Amino acid sequence: MTRKDWIILCLAYIVGLLSTNLLGFSTSTTLRHLCLLAIGLIGAVAICAIALRKVTTTPRIWIGAAMIAILAVLYFQLRIPQPKNSDISYQITASDSGLVTVAGKVLSEPRLNDSQRLKFQLEVTEINHGERVSGKLYATVPLLQGTGIYPGQQLKLKGLLYLPQAASNPAGFDFKQYLARQGIFAGIRGFEVIFGDRAEPAWGWWKIRQRIVRSHLRGLGSPRGQLVSSMVLGRKAVDLPAELRDRFIKAGLAHVLAASGFHVSLLLGIILKLTERFAAKPRLAVGIGTLVMYLGLTGIQASVFRACLMGSAVLIALTMETKVKPLGSLLLAATIILLFNPLFISDLGFQLSFLATLGLIVTLPGLQAKLDWLPPTIATLVAVPLAASIWVLPLLGYVFNAVATYSIIVNILCTPLVTVISLGGMISAIAALIFPAVGSAIAWLLLYPTLLLLTVTKFFTSLPGSTWAIGQISLSVLLLVYGLLLLVWLNKWCSKHWGLILIFAWTLIIIPAGYKNFNQTQVTVFPTQPTVVVIQDRGKVILIDSGDSNAVKYSVLPFLTQQGINHLDFAIEFNQTNSDWEQIRDRLSIKHLVTQPDLKNLFVPNSQKTLQTVAKAITTDSFQISFEQQLSALKLETATEIWLILSKLNRSSLPIQQYIQDNFFQKQIVLIGSSISPSWLRLQPQTVISTNQSKPIPRQSLKNIQFYNLKQDGAIAWTPKDKFQPTQRTPSRNNNF
C-alpha cells in the first residue's frame, strides 16, 4: 500500500472514533443506533471517495476505510468500562445502613478535593470482613486519616457507600459519568482508615514525583513550589492548590499546568544537548529512555503520550539521518494512542494537544511570514501562541461555554517566563533525583520568575470581563468552524482571505447566544439550599439568592455560563444564610444588589401603583417583583400567575388565613420553597415546587396540585409557552474534575 492509502485508513479509524460522540459515553447504546451510525459512516466514506476520485486509490482502500470506521465504533463500545456482576456498586442496595468496611489496594496518589478531604481510587477485594467483591471505589477520607496512604498499599476503610449522582442541573457536572469513564461505579465516604503493613516500597513513580516536589517546595515554598512542579510534571501529578489552579485556567494558561508537547520538546532539547558527543545509538537509547521515564512520572497522560511518540520519531530520524514529516508523525501518533486506548478520543487533554500541535504545523509558518516586519524572536513569540489559540479556542468555547478574554495576550507575555521556569524546573528535578539539596538550590533561582508569572496571572484575572461567557455552542456549529479552518489551510482563496473567514467563524459562535438572550423568557428554579431562581426576560437577568459556595460553583455559574450571561441586572439576597455572592461577583458584573434591608422597599401598596424606590427597576416585560411583608415572601407576578418564593421563617406562625382574606386571587398561585408546610396549601396553589421536601405532604392535600420535588426531579424551568418543564439535563462537556 502507498503512503496515501495508510493516511486514508488512519483517518478512517479516527473519524470512526470521533463519530461515537454522537452516541455519547453510554453502555446502553442500541443496535439501531449503531446501524444508523454505520450507515452514516459508509455514506461519508462514499462522499470522500467521489470528492477525491482524482487521488490514485483503488476502490478496495475506500471499502477498507468504511470497514475500519465501523470497527472503530464497535471497538470503542467494547472498551467502555462496565461493572461486573461482583462489582461493589451492587452492594449498595443490598446494604441496610450503607456503613461498611472494605478492603483493597490503593491505585492512585491521594489528592485534596474541594472539601479538604483526601481522594483516591481503591481497588476493593472484600467487604464486611470476608465477602468477596470486585471493582473500584472513589474514596474520600479526612486529611489526618489519610496521611501516609500511597499507591499499591493494602488497607481497610470504614465508611458509607454511595452511588455517584448524574447532573441534576443544566450544565451541571456529571459526576457519575466522570467516574464511569475510569471504570468506577460507586464511592465511599470514609471515616476511618485501618492500615496493614505501613512500610513503604523502595521504588515507585510516586516516590520519584514526591522527591521532586519536596525539592521544589524546599527551594521555593508553598504554593510556588507546587506550581513549578506542576509546570514540570503536570497538575495531575501534583497536588496544586485549587485557587492557584483556577486562576491559571481563568487566565487561559491551563496548558502551562498540563504536561504536554512543550515540556517534552524542552526535555528533548536538554537531552540532545547533553548527549551531542555520544554516538548515534547510545544517544537514541538515552533519549527514548528519558522520554519513557518522563511518561511514567506524568502518569501516562494522553498529551504527553503523543509528545513522547513524536519525540521518539525525531530521535529515530536523527539516528537514521532522515527528516520527519510533522503531519505524518502526528497522524501516526494519534492512531497508535487510540489503538492503545480508544476512550482517549473523548479526553479533552488529547483533543487540545492534537489541535494545538496541528495549529503549530499548519498555521505557524503563515503567521511568521505575515509578521516578518518584526524581529524573528518577537515574531515567533507572538505567532506560536496565536497559531495554537486559533485551533483550540473553538473547542474550549464548545466545552466550557466561555473563553478567557485576555488569553492570547497573557500567553504572549508569559511564554518567556514559562520557558525559563519549565526549563529550570526540569534541571532542578534532574538534580533533585541525584542530590535533593542541589535541586532545591536550583529551584530557588526560579523564585523571581515564578513571582512575576503569578503577578501577571493575578493582574489579568482581576480585570473586568476576564472570562466571557459565549453560551452553548452546537456540535454542528463547531464542525462548521473547524471546516472553515481547514479551508483556510487547504484552499488558496480562503488562505488569502483568512481574516474574513476567522471573523465569520467567530460570528457563528457568538451571535446565536446573543440572539437567544434577547428573545428568551424563562425562569429556572434550582434544587439548592436556599432556593435559587434565575429569571431571564428579553435581555434582563435577575438572580434570586446565590446558594452556598458549592451551589454557585457547580450549579449557578455553569448554568449562567451555558446561557451566555455575563451580567446581572439585579441580584436579590432573599435568604442571608449560606450565600456566596463574592464568587458570583468575581465572574459576573452586578448592576444592582438588593440585600435584606432593601427588601422592605419591594412592595406594591395596591394593584394600581408601581413598585417604589429600589423596586421601581425590578420590572421586566413579563414580570413584576415585590416583597409580601405579611407572608415574608418574594412575589413574582405575571399576566396570569402569582409566584410566592417562601423564606425560611416558621410557617406555622405566618398569618396565611388573614392574607387570604385580604387578597382575592384571580390568578393562579405558584409556591416555591425549600420545604413546603401543608398550611401553605390553604392558598389553593396550582403548582408547588419544593427544593428539599423533608416531610411528605399527604396525597389528599395535593389533589389538583402539580407538585415538583426538585431533590428528586432536578432543576425545573418555566416558559410562557410550555409552562413548567424539567430542564434538559445537558451535563457539562468538561470531563475533567
Give the Cα separation of 580 and 357 in Å (integer).
40
Question: Grid coordinates in use for 486?
Answer: 481547514
Predicted local distance difference test score (pLDDT) of residue 733: 55
What backbone phi and psi angles, to 5 degrees, belong to 629?
-65, -35
Predicted local distance difference test score (pLDDT) of residue 535: 94
Task: Give the type of residue at 157.
Answer: L
Predicted local distance difference test score (pLDDT) of residue 737: 39
Predicted local distance difference test score (pLDDT) of residue 610: 33
Query: Residues in the chain with pLDDT < 70?
Result: 23-29, 55-56, 94-98, 576-578, 596-617, 648-665, 694, 728-737
Residues near 439 by Cβ (< 8 Å), separated by ≥ 6?
Answer: 212, 215, 216, 219, 428, 429, 430, 431, 432, 433
Instruction: Find out whether 707 and 673 touch, Cβ atoms under 8 Å.
Output: no
- What is the DSSP code (8-state) at residue 556? I
What backbone phi and psi angles, to 5 degrees, belong to 69?
-60, -40
Give the Cα separation of 49 and 222 in Å (integer).
58
What backbone phi and psi angles, to 5 degrees, belong to 402?
-155, 160
Cα distances from 629 to residues 250, 440, 654, in angstroms, run: 42, 64, 10
Instruction: Find out whether 489 and 495 touch, Cβ atoms under 8 Å.
Output: yes
Predicted local distance difference test score (pLDDT) of residue 238: 82
Give the Cα separation of 287 and 270 in Å (integer).
10
Partner residues linked to 159 by β-bridges: 100, 190
Predicted local distance difference test score (pLDDT) of residue 21: 80
CB atoms within 10 A of CB 490: 10
Closest among 153, 162, 155 to 109, alpha carbons compared: 153
Closest among 247, 563, 514, 556 to 406, alpha carbons compared: 247
Task: Give the type of residue at 588.
Answer: L
Residues near 389 by Cβ (< 8 Å), separated by ≥ 6?
Answer: 359, 407, 408, 411
Partner residues linked to 526 by β-bridges: 532
Residues near 37 by Cβ (< 8 Å), separated by ≥ 6?
Answer: 19, 20, 22, 23, 73
Predicted local distance difference test score (pLDDT) of residue 76: 92
Question: Grid coordinates in use for 673?
Answer: 420553597
Give the Cα separation of 695 and 674 in Å (integer).
11
Predicted local distance difference test score (pLDDT) of residue 615: 44
Hey, is 55 helix, strand or coil? coil
Closest among 159, 193, 161, 163 to 179, alpha carbons compared: 163
> What's the N-to-C CA distance of the chain in angstroms?
43
Partner residues linked to 114 by β-bridges: none
